[in-house]
Amino acid sequence: MRKTDLMRRPVVILLGLSLAVPVPAAAVSPTGAFFRSLLIPGWGQRYAGRPAAARRMVTVELALWGGYLGLHRRATVRQDRALSYAAVHAGARPQGRGKRFHDHLKFYDSVLQYNQHAAYRRGPAAELYPDTPEFFWEWDEAESRAIYRDLLNASDEAERQALYVVGAVLVNHVFAAVHAARSAGQAGDTHGDHRFQVSAGPGMPSSSAYGQRGSRGVHISCVHRF
C-alpha cells in the first residue's frame, strides 16, 4: 500500500467523524435563539431544535395578525357607514375632514349651532367653520345624529381593539424570545449518547465510535477494526 493511501485514511476517517457527530447543543446560542424569536416568533424555537413549539408560535402570531386585520377592517367599514349616513341625513361632506370634524357632527345638530357655541365659550379665539358647502351640516332629526354617533363610536371601539391586538403581538414576540432562549439553554444541558460507524471506503477497515454529550462538551471513543 502506498504511503499516500496510509496518510489519506486518517483524513477520511476524521472527515466522516465530523459529519456523523451530532451538532453539540452548546453550539445553539440562547442569545441567538432569543433574538431570532424576538424578530419572528418560532424562528428561535426552530433554531433550538423545537419544531413543534415553533409551529405553535407561528400559529399564534398568524392568529394575532389575522385578528388585527379583521378589527381594522371592521373599524374602516363602520366609519365609512357612519360618514355615508351623515351625508344622507345631515347633508354633510365628512370625507377627509378628520376626527375633530366627525366629533362635532356627533354632538351638534348643525354647523350654525357649533359656531354659536364655540363663539360663546371662546370668544375671538374660537375656531369657527366657514359658511361654505364643504363644512355644512344640519341633522334632519336628533335620532339620526344619535345613530351616527353610535356608528362612529363602534368604529372607534374596533380601532382600539385592533391596537390592543398589536400590544398582544409585541407581548407574543417577547414571550417567544424568552421561550426560545430557555429552550436553547435546556438543549445545552441535555446529555445523550450517540453511536455511529464510519467506513473509510469499500474494502477498507471500519471504525466504530461512541459519542457522549455532557455539560463540558462531546467525548468520543473510537474502536478501529482491521
Same domain? For 164 and 226 the reply is no
Same domain? For 200 and 145 the reply is no
- For residue 206, how far is the Cα from the chain centroid? 50
Count H helices and E strands in the chain, helices first.
Answer: 7, 3
What domain range is 196 assigned to? 191-226
User: What stretch of H or E contains 208?
Assistant: strand 206-214
Q: How many CB atoms lie within 10 A of CB 122?
A: 11
Same domain? For 37 and 134 the reply is yes
pLDDT tens-place string over residues 78-90:
999 999 999 999 9
Tell me the pTM.
0.65
- Residue pair 83/97 in contact (Cβ under 8 Å)? The answer is no
Same domain? For 29 and 94 the reply is yes
Same domain? For 157 and 85 the reply is yes
Total domains in the fold of the chain? 2
- Residue pair 217/24 in contact (Cβ under 8 Å)? The answer is yes
Same domain? For 225 and 132 the reply is no
pLDDT tens-place string over residues 187-208:
766 544 444 344 444 554 444 4
Same domain? For 65 and 161 the reply is yes
